[in-house]
Amino acid sequence: MFRQNPFLSTALVTMLIATPALAMSPMGEITGEIGEEAFLWETLDVPEEGTATAEFEAFGPVTSVRLQGHEQGGESLMHNVVSLTVSLMGEGASASVMDVDVSFFPEGMSGAFYMSTDAPREAEISFDTLDLAGEEGRAEGSFSALLCRQDDFMTPPDLDDCIEARGEFATRLREQS
C-alpha cells in the first residue's frame, strides 16, 4: 500500500511558514473540533516559494492530497496545526480512498501531538468536490478521525489517550512541483 510520511510533509511546510520574510495568502478554510474545542484553520499559499499548505500531486494512477490548516487568529501560526493527507486511486470526488492520515499539532513540532496512524479506528476523509484539473484545483469535503497522543516522533502512540476530530474543508489546491 502507498503510504506518505505525514511527519515529513508537515515538518517541511512548517519550516517554510516559519520563515518570517515570506508572504502568505489564504487559500481556503478548515473548520472543526478537536476534542471539545472548536477551531477555524486557514490553508495558505506561499507564492514566493511556489508552495502551499493545500497541495496535490499525481504519481501515475495515485493522487496525494495534503491539507495543512493553521489556526486563524491564534497566538502562533505554528500552534494548533491540523494536517489532512489522503491518497486516492482514480479521479474526482468519487476516487477510491487508499490511505488517510489526520494529525493535530497543538504545540507545533516541539511538543506532543495527536495522529490517526495506528489508532483503533480508521480515519475518514470524503470529498463533495475534488477538482484537480490544471495547476490549481479545489477540494471540499469532511473528515473524521480518532487521534491518539504521541509524545515525540520516536515513541508509539498512546492508544489510551485519544481524542475525536471532525470537521469540514473548502480550499483551493496548488499542484505540487
Confidence of residue 175 (pLDDT cuts 50, 70, 90): very high
Span 146-156, average pLDDT: 94
Which residue, chain included where needed, has cell 468536490? 129
> What does the DSSP assignment read for 8-64?
HHHHHHHHHHH-TT---EEEEEEEEEETTEEEEEEEEEEGGGTEESEEEEEETTEEE
Q: 3-state SS string over 83-96?
A: EEEEEEECCCCCCE
Which residue(s) pair with 113 in the sheet?
150
11-15, 25-29, 90-94: which range is least confident on average?
Answer: 11-15
Select from 155, 74, 151 the least CA-distant residue to 110: 151
Per-residue pLDDT tens over the stretch 104-143? 999 988 899 999 999 999 999 999 999 998 778 999 999 9
pLDDT at 11: 45
pLDDT over 70 percentage in the chain: 88
pLDDT digits (tens, 9 = 90+) for 3-21: 444 544 444 444 444 445 4
Residue 144 has pLDDT above 70, yes or no: yes
* Mean pLDDT value across the chain: 87
Q: Is the pLDDT of residue 1 over 80?
A: no
**pLDDT bracket for residue 22 (50, 70, 90):** low
**pLDDT tens-digit profile of 32-91?**
999 999 999 999 999 888 889 999 998 888 999 999 999 998 888 899 999 999 999 987
* CA–CA gap between residue 156 and residue 75 (Å, rounded): 29
Q: Which amino acid is located at 65 in the chain?
A: V
**Alpha-carbon distances of 85 from 15, 48, 68, 108, 147, rounded to whole Å:** 18, 24, 8, 17, 14
C-beta of residue 28 within 8 angstroms of C-beta of residue 43: yes
Number of other CB atoms surrounding residue 142 within 10 Å: 15
